[in-house]
């Protein structure tokens, strides 16, 4: 049998998306129980960028996470979990630092409570030296977030570096704002993100985190101000109100949530981001992309854990194909600036 041409093999290995961020073990009580009372806790693997990568692979596309893990049982669990989900890890092991952990409690009223045990974690020591492990894979898009920028000075430099150099590697720059005031560093994170905006191809953010960046939580105004700052495409998440996608004329359009049941709201936003981005990279228009993001979010909302409820791969492949087939120009049909280069 003749060997496949090397170029084809290289093209196949190119991930659709590379995310940069922290993967953690997540401990949480079973549905309808609380941390105060539960006799046992569930163990999951999570982290914003890992969650989004899991949504991307659930739709049959390729995603890799650049991170650092400790040389411990939690780190090994995360490696296994990423493998099960088909998410590639471009990961360094740091034997001097632990893998991060967070604990989630969801009260019966649906309010989320998250406690972090991640100060000094392996991933909090990431820096711009971690960038190449992802950028050299030449992904179609890179995904970064304000969360990573808030982990410490090194991770902040990493996010800034990715912002500056994604286009040099032919990758679209995707920013999911993901502000986490509980991590501190809010002011410096906001400054860093604002300085990046002129290079951002796709901005994903929630109405609950837009004030510090844009001084408004009105979706149409968020979109207007983001585009003024140089962002190419914006989609706004609005929790139980659903989301706002942008049509071909730059108008913000509301879309209702597809959630039938809300068991655990944490992780829905990451699933939305993964679904929206994957659909856009596959050529779906913005409305269908928002619908697919909402669909994945609805699945995650219905179960405990940040990624439980994502579709099985065969179903995901079918959902993605349908989103592309149903795209009829109501939104912006051409995927945002994939592979374009921008002057500084």
Ligand X SMILES: Nc1ncnc2c1ncn2[C@@H]1O[C@H](COP(=O)(O)OP(=O)(O)O)[C@@H](O)[C@H]1O
Q: List residues with catalytic annotation.
A: 270
SS3 assignment, position 2: coil
Counting contacts by CB under 6 A, is residue 137 touching ligand ELE? no
Which residue, 157, 223, 222, 245, is CA-closest to 195?
A: 157
List the x/- string, 243-272, binding to ligand ELE by CB under 6 A: -----------------------xxxxx--
Counting contacts by CB under 6 A, is residue 279 touching ligand X? no
Counting contacts by CB under 6 A, is residue 233 touching ligand ELE? no
Asked whether the beta carbons of 141 and 65 are under 8 A apart, the reply is no
SS3 assignment, position 49: helix
- Closest distance to ligand ELE from the beta carbon of 300 (Å): 8
Counting contacts by CB under 6 A, is residue 306 touching ligand ELE? yes
Binders in 71-130 for ligand ELE, by CB under 6 A:
114
List the x/- string, 216-235, binding to ligand X by CB under 6 A: --------------------
Asked whether the beta carbons of 278 and 61 are under 8 A apart, the reply is yes
Asked whether the beta carbons of 277 and 147 are under 8 A apart, the reply is no
- In the bound state with ligand X, the residue whose beta carbon lies nearer, of 69 and 296, is 296
Residue span binding ligand X (CB under 6 A) among the ranges 12-20, 31-39, 240-248, 280-288: 240-248
Asked whether the beta carbons of 161 and 296 are under 8 A apart, the reply is no
For the CA atoms of 212, 217, 218, 220, what is the dihedral angle to 10 degrees?
A: 50
- In the bound state with ligand ELE, the residue whose beta carbon lies nearer, of 167 and 175, is 175
With CB under 5 to 8 Å by kind, the binding choice for 90 among ligand ELE, ligand X, none is: none
Asked whether the beta carbons of 60 and 313 are under 8 A apart, the reply is yes
DSSP 19-33: EES--EEEEEPPTT-
Residue span binding ligand X (CB under 6 A) among the ranges 124-132, 268-276, 312-320, 334-342: 268-276
Q: E strands of 218-343, at which residues? A: 233-237, 243-246, 252-255
- Residue 68 to residue 22: CA distance in whole angstroms: 7
Counting contacts by CB under 6 A, is residue 47 touching ligand ELE? yes
Counting contacts by CB under 6 A, is residue 262 touching ligand X? yes
- In the bound state with ligand ELE, the residue whose beta carbon lies nearer, of 25 and 284, is 25
- Closest distance to ligand ELE from the beta carbon of 123 (Å): 10
- Residue 260 to residue 339: CA distance in whole angstroms: 37
- In the bound state with ligand ELE, the residue whose beta carbon lies nearer, of 186 and 338, is 186
With CB under 5 to 8 Å by kind, the binding choice for 46 among ligand X, ligand ELE, none is: ligand ELE
Joined together, the tokens standing for residue 32 give 């309808």
CB within 8 Å of 201: residues ≥ 6 apart: 141, 172, 173, 174, 231, 232, 233, 336, 337, 338
List the x/- string, 187-206, binding to ligand X by CB under 6 A: -------------------x
DSSP 8-state class, residue 98? P
- In the bound state with ligand ELE, the residue whose beta carbon lies nearer, of 139 and 267, is 267
Start-to-end CA span in the chain (Å)? 48
Counting contacts by CB under 6 A, is residue 259 touching ligand X? yes
- Closest distance to ligand X from the beta carbon of 222 (Å): 13
With CB under 5 to 8 Å by kind, the binding choice for 257 among ligand X, ligand ELE, none is: ligand X
In Å, how far are 140, 191, 234, 285, 336 from 201, measured between CA atoms? 12, 18, 8, 15, 6
Tell me which residues touch ligand ELE (CB under 6 A): 46-48, 51, 114, 147, 180, 266-270, 306
The binding site for ligand X (CB under 6 A) comprises 110, 206, 237-240, 242-243, 257, 259, 262, 265, 268-269, 272, 294, 297, 301
């Amino acid at each position: 049998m003749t060997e496949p041409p090397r170029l084809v093999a290289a093209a196949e290995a190119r991930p659709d998306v590379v995310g940069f961020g922290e993967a953690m073990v997540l401990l949480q009580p079973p549905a309808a129980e609380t941390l105060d009372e539960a006799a046992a806790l569930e163990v999951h693997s999570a982290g914003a960028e890992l969650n989004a990568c899991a949504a991307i692979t659930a739709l049959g596309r390729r995603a890799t996470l650049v991170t650092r893990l400790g040389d411990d049982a939690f780190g090994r669990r995360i490696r296994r979990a990423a493998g099960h989900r088909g998410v590639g890890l471009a990961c360094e092991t740091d034997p001097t630092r632990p893998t991060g952990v967070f604990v989630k409690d969801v009260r019966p009223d649906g309010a989320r409570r998250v406690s972090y045990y991640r100060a000094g974690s392996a991933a909090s020591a990431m820096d711009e030296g971690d960038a190449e492990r992802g950028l050299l894979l030449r992904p179609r898009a890179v995904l970064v977030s304000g969360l990573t920028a808030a982990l410490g000075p090194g991770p902040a430099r990493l996010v800034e570096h990715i912002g500056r150099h994604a286009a040099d590697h032919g990758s679209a720059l995707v920013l999911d704002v993901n502000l986490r005031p509980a991590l501190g560093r809010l002011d410096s994170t906001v400054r860093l993100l604002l300085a990046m905006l002129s290079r951002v191809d796709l901005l994903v953010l929630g109405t609950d985190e837009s004030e510090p960046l844009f001084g408004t939580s009105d979706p149409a105004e968020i979109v207007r101000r983001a585009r003024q700052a140089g962002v190419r495409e914006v989609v706004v998440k609005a929790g139980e109100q659903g989301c706002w996608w942008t049509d071909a004329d730059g108008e913000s359009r509301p879309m209702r949530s597809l959630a039938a049941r809300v068991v655990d709201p944490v992780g829905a936003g990451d699933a939305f981001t993964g679904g929206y981005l994957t659909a856009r990279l596959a050529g779906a228009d913005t409305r269908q992309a928002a619908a697919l993001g909402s669909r994945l979010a609805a699945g995650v909302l219905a179960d405990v854990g940040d990624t439980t409820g994502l579709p099985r791969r065969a179903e995901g492949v079918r959902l993605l194909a349908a989103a592309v087939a149903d795209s009829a120009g109501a939104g912006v049909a051409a995927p945002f600036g994939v592979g374009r280069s921008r002057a500084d």
